[in-house]
């Protein structure tokens, strides 16, 4: 079978990747990288912890799913009637793993040898579910311990407390693994139901980067993948207000110094708008409080932030926020100072020299991710569902201006729609 292979290039980087629409319905993105020994593959679906209310037929009704089921399904997919996927990978030496995020699930492996066998295992086990009441019951204990591990994790709690303070309805505020109670509702029938809904190849992507032969990927896809049925899925739209639930939330846990997360809640656009906009937001955050700014210096010299201070733009299908985190004995002071600076920048614009620092940093970050096999496969994966070309990210950073950044941030954020989450000893 000869398939159309579209080549996508970046002149700036001198790199390229290839896109294939496989007859099964799966999109395959491949970036062979010269000189590297590792191949890294990710096979995943646009299904994550936030998909808790869905409709699978146009005239059907919305159904609620137990919290944490996407993550449970990810664990159980590794099993089959004969042998676990880990047992099969053991024969190839590949280092395999999987993760469930808010709006996606991915199965992945890295290897420096026997790629052909590993890619076939990956495609095969993800497309062949096997759940029984016994195997489902067995996982309750394991995932129960995973949930408890996160309950004790201050990093995790400070983030989810923040999400709870920012969002009224958006299921992004629900813990990815669910709760010990919610996962008790999960049955093998429900897992099949979710599997058949979300693991449709039209809703999935395969990305591969590094040292591999593209023909072997296509050969494995031809061999393993059956044409997918037609795909219909509607997710309940939550009508999330712009305002936050509360501006402050705290919890006591055994930690040495208080930890904080600050969130500026953005108005969501389409998934693609969020994704493209997040690059400009990153430049804005840099200009707001990265280590080359006056504000950072003031807070640092006052001793109320330290080298753990950092930022992140949190974005997905129907949510976008700016997060700032660190350790501080006076987190309220940090929060208030950053809110003031946020408003100041929106009103007075970003000084040219500060903008140059922020833009170059973001540009350098995306450029460096293109020199790592994992970075390339992950970026291809993350860009697919929003429908953005991977190389566009670098161009957005390169073409940004102080005005375009301010315009974007003004239309998306308001300093008041924000919250502070603190973990105290």
Stretch 337-366 residues interacting with another protein (CB under 8 A):
353, 356-358, 360-365
- 127: how many CB neighbours lie within 10 A of its CB? 19
Closest separation between CB of residue 325 and another protein, Å? 13
Closest separation between CB of residue 400 and another protein, Å? 14
Binding mask 169-208 for another protein (x = CB under 8 A): ----------------------------------------
Q: Does 307 bind another protein (CB under 8 A)?
A: yes
Nearer to another protein, 299 or 414 (CB): 299
Tracing tokens 């100041």 back to the chain, one arrives at 344
Nearer to another protein, 243 or 302 (CB): 302
Q: What distance, in Å, lies between the first and last C-alpha atoms of the chain?
A: 63
Binding mask 206-235 for another protein (x = CB under 8 A): ----x-------------------------
CA distance 42 to 109: 7
DSSP, res 414 = -
Q: Does 130 bind another protein (CB under 8 A)?
A: no
Residue 111: C-alpha distances to residues 40, 116, 145, 370, 375 (Å): 7, 10, 29, 18, 15
* Residue numbers 269-298 binding another protein by CB under 8 A: 286, 290-294, 296-297
Which residue among 3, 5, 62, 90 contacts another protein (CB under 8 A)? 90
DSSP, res 386 = T
Q: Are strands 248-252 and 310-316 parallel, antiparallel or unpaired?
A: unpaired
Which residue among 16, 101, 154, 415 contacts another protein (CB under 8 A)? 154
Closest separation between CB of residue 108 and another protein, Å? 13
DSSP, res 312 = E
Nearer to another protein, 297 or 344 (CB): 297
What pairs with residue 285 in β-bridges? none
CA distance 361 to 236: 38
Which residue among 73, 108, 206, 373 contacts another protein (CB under 8 A)? 373
* Residue numbers 250-269 binding another protein by CB under 8 A: 253-257, 259
DSSP, res 52 = -
Question: Residue 406: phi, psi to the nearest 5?
Answer: -65, -40
Nearer to another protein, 15 or 416 (CB): 15
DSSP, res 177 = T
């Amino acid at each position: 079978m000869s398939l159309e292979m579209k080549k996508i290039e970046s002149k700036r980087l001198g790199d390229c990747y290839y896109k294939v629409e496989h007859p099964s319905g799966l999109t395959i993105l491949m970036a062979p990288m010269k000189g590297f020994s590792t191949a890294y593959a990710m096979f995943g679906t646009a299904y994550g912890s936030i998909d808790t209310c869905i409709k699978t037929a146009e005239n059907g009704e919305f159904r609620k799913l137990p919290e944490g089921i996407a993550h449970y399904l990810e664990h159980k997919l590794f099993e089959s009637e004969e042998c676990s996927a880990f047992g099969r990978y053991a024969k190839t030496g590949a280092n395999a793993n999987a993760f469930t995020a808010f709006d996606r699930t991915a199965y992945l492996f890295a290897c420096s040898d026997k790629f052909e066998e590993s890619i076939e295992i990956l495609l095969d086990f993800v497309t062949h579910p096997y759940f029984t009441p016994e195997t489902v019951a067995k996982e309750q204990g394991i995932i129960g311990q995973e949930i408890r591990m996160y309950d004790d994790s201050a990093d995790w709690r400070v983030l989810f407390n923040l999400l709870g303070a920012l969002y009224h309805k958006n299921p992004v505020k629900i813990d990815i693994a669910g709760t010990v109670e919610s996962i008790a509702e999960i049955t093998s029938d429900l897992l099949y139901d979710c599997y058949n809904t979300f693991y449709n190849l039209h809703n999935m992507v395969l990305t591969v980067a590094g040292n591999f032969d593209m023909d072997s990927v296509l050969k494995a896809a031809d061999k393993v993948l059956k044409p997918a049925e037609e795909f219909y899925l509607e997710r309940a739209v939550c009508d999330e207000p712009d305002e936050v639930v509360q501006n402050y939330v705290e919890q006591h846990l055994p930690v040495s110094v208080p930890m904080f997360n600050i969130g500026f809640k953005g108005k969501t656009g389409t998934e693609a708008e969020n994704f493209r906009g997040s690059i400009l937001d990153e430049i804005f955050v840099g200009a707001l409080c990265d280590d080359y700014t006056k504000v950072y210096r003031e807070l640092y010299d006052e001793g109320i932030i330290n080298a753990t201070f950092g930022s992140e733009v949190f974005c997905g299908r129907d949510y976008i926020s700016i997060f700032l985190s660190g350790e501080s004995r006076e987190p309220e002071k940090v929060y208030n100072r950053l809110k003031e600076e946020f408003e100041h920048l929106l009103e007075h614009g970003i000084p040219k020299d500060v903008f140059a620092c922020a833009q170059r940093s973001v540009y350098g970050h995306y450029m460096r991710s293109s020199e790592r096999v994992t970075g390339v496969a992950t970026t291809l994966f993350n860009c697919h569902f929003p429908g953005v070309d991977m190389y566009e990210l670098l161009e957005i950073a390169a073409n940004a201006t102080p005005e375009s950044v301010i315009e974007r941030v003004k239309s998306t954020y308001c300093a008041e729609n924000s919250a502070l989450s603190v973990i105290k000893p």
